[in-house]
A and B are shown apart, each in its own frame.
Chain A
C-alpha cells in the first residue's frame, strides 16, 4: 500500500496565496490530522489531494503515481464531506454503490462490498432509506460507508464530526479510530478541534496562515511545540507566555528572569539557543503549581478560580500586572483575592526566540 508525498505544493486564488510551498510525506497506513484555525488552508490542502482544487505548483504523489493532474475519481482516494454530501434522491444502498457502478464493477462485487460495509457500520437496516429519512449520525455513517466500499488507498475526512452533537462526536471519533485499524489505507483528517487531533492522529500537521507550523506526533506537538503558534493553539488552557531575560544557570542550562523578578531555572541548553534579541518563556498551567505564598518562585493574587473537578485552574495576577494560569488540586481551597505562591517546574519550560521558534528542555532518555 502506497504512501503519499506532497512536494512544494502551492495554491493561489487570484493574488492571494492560500497554500504556500507545502511539502509533506505521509506513510502507508498512517493516520494524519491537519489541525489549524479557520482559514489556515488545511481544507484547501485536503481538497487539492482529493483533486477538487487544482495545484498551481508542486507535485502530489500517491505511491509511485503522480496524481496532481488526474481527475478526482482516478486518484483512488475517498472523501467524507463535512455536510456528508449524500445524493438526496438515492437510497443509502444507491449512494454507496454509485461510485462502484461508474467504474463498472460487477453487480455481485458491488453488493458484496456494500453489504460488508453496511454490516461494519451497522447500517444494514437503513440500506433502502433515503438520506432525508435518517438522522445526522446515520448519514455520517453512510458517508463513511460510501468511502469504504471504494477500497481507496487514502481516506480524506473534511471536518466530519463538526455537525454532530457532543456525545455522538465522541462516539464517532472512536469509530473512525477503529475503522482505521480495519482498513488498509492511510487517512487524512482535517479538524480545528485539538482534542480530535490529539486523540486520532499518528502525526499532526499544525497549519497556520497557509503554512505548516509543525509536523509531529501528538505528544511532540504538545510537549515540544515548534513555534509560539503551536504552543498557544494546542492545549487547554493556552500556554502562559512571558517576556524574560536570560542568565546562565547550572550545568550549562539557562535561567529565565520574569518581569516581576522571579527566576526560573530551565533545562534548556544555553549552547542550543540562537543569538536572539529577546526571548519569551512559555509554560503550561500544569507545570505551575499553587503553593502557600512565599514558597514558590513568585507570588501573586488569585483573580479567578475555575474548578474543573479533577483540578482547579487559578488565574494569578503577578506583581508586574501580568496574569498567569496555574493549576491546583481538585479540592483547592484557593479563593478569589487570596495571596498565593506559584511554583514553576522549570524542566517543562520552553523558550521562544524573536522568530517565534521554540526551544525545549534537553531530552534525557525517558523524557519526551
Chain B
C-alpha cells in the first residue's frame, strides 16, 4: 500500500511540476499581449500624473528653470484670494449647471421618449447644440446677452425695460455662462436618460396602469426608481465635466468682471501661460485633480452598487 501511495504521490509531483512551470511560462507570454497597452498607459498616463505632482513641488517656468520648494506652492495657493475665488466660482458654477442639466435632460428625455417622427426630429435638434464648438456657442450667446442690440436686450426693450449687461455684471456673469453651458451640454444627459428610459420594461408600465397609477404616480414610483442609477451617473459625469469649465468663461468674460467669473482652469491657464509660473499652475491643477478624483470615485461607488434592487 505504502509503495503504491508513494508512487501515486510521485506521479502527482512529476505531473504537477511541469504544469506549474508551463503556467508560469504562459503567464509571461500572456503579459506580452498586454505589454503595448501597459507601456502606453504608463508612458501617457501614470508617468505624467507623477511628473505633474513632482512639478507642483517646484518653482518652475517654461524655459527650464526649476527649483525644489516643497509645498510652498500649495501654501501660496491657500492664501491666494484670486485662486480661492476661482475655487468658489467653480463650485458655484457646478451648483448652477449640474442640477439644471440633470432635470432639464430628464424632462426632455421623458417628453421625447416616443416613437413619433416629431420626437425623433426634436431629439436631433436638442442634441445638435452638443456638436458645436465652444467658439461658436459663446459667439452665439454673446449676441444673445449683448446689452446693445442683443436678443435679450431687445426682448427687455419690447417690455419697456432697460437692457441688462449680463456679462459685465459681477452677479450675472457666471449665471449667464451657466445658461450658455446648459444650452451647449444638454444633449448628453438627454441621451443618457433616453437610453435608460428605453431599458425600463414595458410590462412595468402596464402593471402600473392596472394598478390605477396615474401619470405622476407612474413617474414617481416606476420610472424614476428604475433609472436612478442613470440619474446618479449623469450627476457625476456632469460634475466632472463642469469642474473643467474654461472655454466659455475665457471667451465670454475673460474671468471678469473683477474675477467674478474666473473658474479654476482659467486661473491655472493664466498662471501657467501668461505668468509662466508653471509650478504654481500645476499645483492648482493638482487641487482640481483632487476634486475631480473625488467625483470620479463617487461614480465608481455608484456603478459598483449594481444590485441596488
Chain A positions within 8 Å of B, measured between CB atoms, are 50-52, 71-74, 77-79, 81-83, 85-90, 98-99, 102-103, 130-132, 146
Contact A102 B217 (CB under 8 A): yes
The answer, among B207, B212, B228, B308, for a CB contact under 8 Å with A85, is B207
Known: A52-B209, A73-B213, A132-B307. 13 other contacts (CB 8 A): A52-B210, A72-B210, A73-B210, A78-B210, A82-B203, A87-B225, A88-B225, A89-B225, A89-B308, A99-B210, A99-B212, A102-B217, A103-B212
Question: Which of B204, B209, B214, B228 interacts with A87 by CB under 8 Å?
Answer: B204
Name B residues whose Cβ lies closer than 8 Å to a Cβ of A. 201, 203-204, 206-214, 217, 221-222, 225-226, 228, 307-309
Contact status B210-A79, CB under 8 Å = yes
What's the dominant secondary structure at chain B's contact region?
A: helix
Listed A/B pairs (19) with beta-carbon separation below 8 Å? A52-B210, A71-B209, A71-B212, A73-B211, A73-B213, A78-B210, A81-B207, A85-B203, A87-B225, A88-B309, A89-B225, A89-B308, A90-B225, A98-B213, A98-B221, A99-B210, A99-B211, A102-B217, A131-B309
Q: Which residue of B lies closest to A84 (CB)?
A: B203
Residue in B closest to A47 when the chains form the complex, CB atoms: B206
Task: Give Cα A81–Cα B201 distance, bound, in whole angstroms.
Answer: 12
Residues of A within 8 A of B212 (CB): 71, 73-74, 99, 102-103
Inter-chain contact A102/B213, CB cutoff 8 Å = yes
User: Chain B's nearest CB lies how many Å from the CB of A7?
Assistant: 23
For the complex, what is the distance from the CA of A81 to the CA of B213, rounded to whole Å? 17
> A175 → chain B, closest Cβ, in Å?
21
Question: Contact: B201 with A85, CB < 8 Å?
Answer: yes
Closest CB in chain B relative to A74 CB, distance in Å: 8
Expressed in whole angstroms, the minimum distance between the Cβ of B260 and any Cβ of chain A is 43
Q: Which residues of A contact B206 (CB under 8 A)?
A: 50, 52, 72, 79, 81, 85
A23 to B226, CA, bound (A): 39
CB-based contact B226/A89 at 8 Å = yes
CB atoms of B211 and A77 under 8 A apart? no
Which residue from B209, B226, B228, B309 sits with its C-beta under 8 Å from A130? B309
- Are the CB atoms of B201 and A50 closer together than 8 Å? no
Query: Which residues of chain B are near A90, meaning CB under 8 Å?
Result: 221, 225
Q: Are A77 and B213 in contact (CB under 8 A)?
A: no
Considering only CB atoms, which chain A residue lies closest to B204 in the complex?
A85
Q: Give min CB distance, A353 to chain B, whole Å.
A: 42
Closest 8 pairs between A and B when the two form their complex, measured CB to CB:
A73-B212, A99-B211, A85-B203, A89-B225, A102-B212, A85-B207, A72-B209, A89-B309
B210 pairs with A77, CB closer than 8 A:
yes
Residue of A with least CB distance to B207: A85
User: In the complex, A139 Cα to B110 Cα: how many Å?
Assistant: 29
Residue pair A51, B204 in contact (C-beta under 8 Å): no
Most buried by A among B206, B209, B213, B308: B206
Instruction: Determine if A51 and B309 form an interchain contact, defined as CB atoms under 8 angstroms apart.
Output: no
Known contacts A87-B204, A132-B309: does B213 contact A51 (CB below 8 Å)? no
Can you name the residue of chain B whose Cβ is closest to the Cβ of A71?
B209
B117 to chain A, nearest CB (A): 15
Q: Tell me, in angstroms, the Cα distance from A165 to B123 when the chains sit together.
A: 43
> What's the minimum C-beta distance from B14 to chain A, rounded to whole angstroms?
46
Question: A51 near B307 (CB under 8 angstroms)?
Answer: no
Nearest chain A CB to B151 CB, angstrom units: 44
Cα A362 to Cα B213 with chains together (Å): 54
Q: A83-B203, A130-B309, A132-B307 are in contact. Are A88 and B226 (CB under 8 A)?
A: yes
How far, in whole Å, are A81 and B212 apart by their CA atoms in the complex? Answer: 16
Of all chain B residues, which has the CB nearest A103?
A: B212
A130 to B203, CA, bound (A): 18
Residue of B201, B211, B226, B307 near A98 (CB, 8 A) is: B211
Asked if A50 and B222 make an inter-chain contact with CB atoms under 8 angstroms apart, the answer reads no
In the bound assembly, the distance between CA atoms of A85 and B228 in angstroms comes to 18
User: Shortest distance in angstroms between A101's beta carbon and chain B's nearest beta carbon?
Assistant: 9
In the bound complex, CA of A51 to CA of B207 (Å) = 11
Bound form: Cα–Cα A103–B212 in Å: 7
What residues on B are CB-neighbors of A89 within 8 Å?
Answer: 225-226, 228, 308-309
- The distance from the CB of B268 to the nearest CB of chain A, in whole angstroms, is 43
The closest CB in chain B to the CB of A102 belongs to B212
Given contacts A99-B210, A103-B212, contact A87 B222 (CB under 8 A): yes
Which A residues lie within 8 Å of B221 (CB)? 87, 90, 98
